[in-house]
Amino acid sequence: MSKRDYYEILGVGKSVGGEEIKKAYRKLAVKYHPDRNQGNAEAEEKFKEATEAYEVLADTKKRQTYDQFGHAGLGGSGGMGGGGFDSSIFSGFEDLFGGDLSSIFGSFFGGGGRSAQQRGARGNDLRYPMELTFSEAVYGCKKEVVFRRTGACGTCDGTGSKDGKEQTCTQCNGMGQVRRSQGPFSVAATCPGCQGSGQVITNPCGSCRGSGRQQTEQRVSVTVPAGVDNENRIRLEGQGDRGRGARASAGDLYIVFMVRAHSHFERHEHDMYCVLPLSLSQAALGGTMYLQTLDEKKVKLKVPAGWQSGKKMRIKGEGIPYLGNSSRKGDLYVQLTVRTPQKPSAKAKKLFEELAKVQEDKDDPGLIALRDLPRD
């Protein structure tokens, strides 16, 4: 099979300079590096192909030869297929990647320049779903939650050691990381001997088997802020699982809110909505009505004569508080809907019949133009 053109592999033109070559290769190396694509043979092949192209095009003499004679001109001296990597080409890799290569791939390999004590093996974050009533979500409340977490072992006080002693890990010499070569790269990985702590326990605690951790029941008081909604969450720092090793930090606890629906009120962002029934006479004649709000206040509503069913009234400042600023609130919208009596009394029925005669009700009233419908 014939080899692909090196410029085509890197996705650059033949006139580009060395910086463009570096930039193109860097992008491909990060994308296709084997440690980021473990088990992906195609990605590994593309990584090797890109590295071979860069090895040639980054070298001025090899590039000139390649431009003049193509792959045939390189013979066995160019590319990985001709005898492995040319170490001189990669002596400038720190410049290419802006420093230690582990900083480029640290998110994949657990690398970095921190000490084992700083790095640790941070504990897992936990998620606790908390159910709230509609009123609790709107006005806030305090609740106590009880949950299971991995905490410090009570026998060894979290050290993992029966006698409290640790020794420096011989596999990583206390660094918490081991380095391995991948072609021209040198990448860091968590030490398998100490799991990144840099220390090993020679006399492990019998209760936790050297982990320093045990399952415990935890009680935490939670202040629910006013105005929370479904899927809102708050973070309680350090209340998650304890990390591995005495120096490792604990994870966090995330309280995720689930708000139960209310039978009479509904939320739309920061506004609340409810429906108040009107009789035919109240709608026709108008009058004063009283509404009990969510916080059980009584609000007076003045209904003008000739009220059209479905129109809404707005009560400013009686809606949902804004998170982080409970003094600011949305509005309450009250939809006043005319309710027709389903089983009118004989007297009421007679009055309706009289009203129909007075109004000269028609059995073919015609349609109402949409633009004439009542608006909020």
| Rounded Cα–Cα distance for residues 311 and 329 (Å) | 22
Distance CA 126, CA 254 (A): 6
Q: For tokens 């006399």, what's the residue?
A: 203
Annotated ligand binding at 141? The verdict is: no
Query: Torsion-angle region of residue 204: left (phi > 0), alpha (psi -120 to 50) or beta?
Result: beta
Residue 142 vs residues 19, 51, 223, 226, 240: alpha-carbon distances, Å: 59, 59, 5, 11, 20
R_g of the chain, CA atoms, integer Å: 37
The DSSP line for 80-107 is GGGTS--TTGGGGHHHHHTS-HHHHHHH
Q: b/e string for 59-84 if b means 16 or more Cβ within 10 A?
A: beebbebbeeeebeebeeebbeeeee
- Collapse the DSSP code of 62 into the 3-class scheme (helix H, G, I; strand E, B; otherwise coil) and give the result: helix
Residues in contact with 129: Cβ distance below 8 Å, sequence separation at least 6, in sequence order = 256, 258
Counting Cβ atoms within 10 Å, is residue 247 exposed (0-12), middle (13-18) or buried (19+)? middle
Strand partners, 277: 337
Give the DSSP H/E element, type plus range, for residue 358.
helix 346-359
Q: Which residues contact 80 (CB under 8 A, 6 or more apart)?
A: 48, 51, 52, 55
- Check whether 172 is labelled as a binding-site residue: yes
Known binding positions: 153, 156, 169, 172, 191, 194, 205, 208
> Binding site for Zn(2+), residues?
153, 156, 169, 172, 191, 194, 205, 208
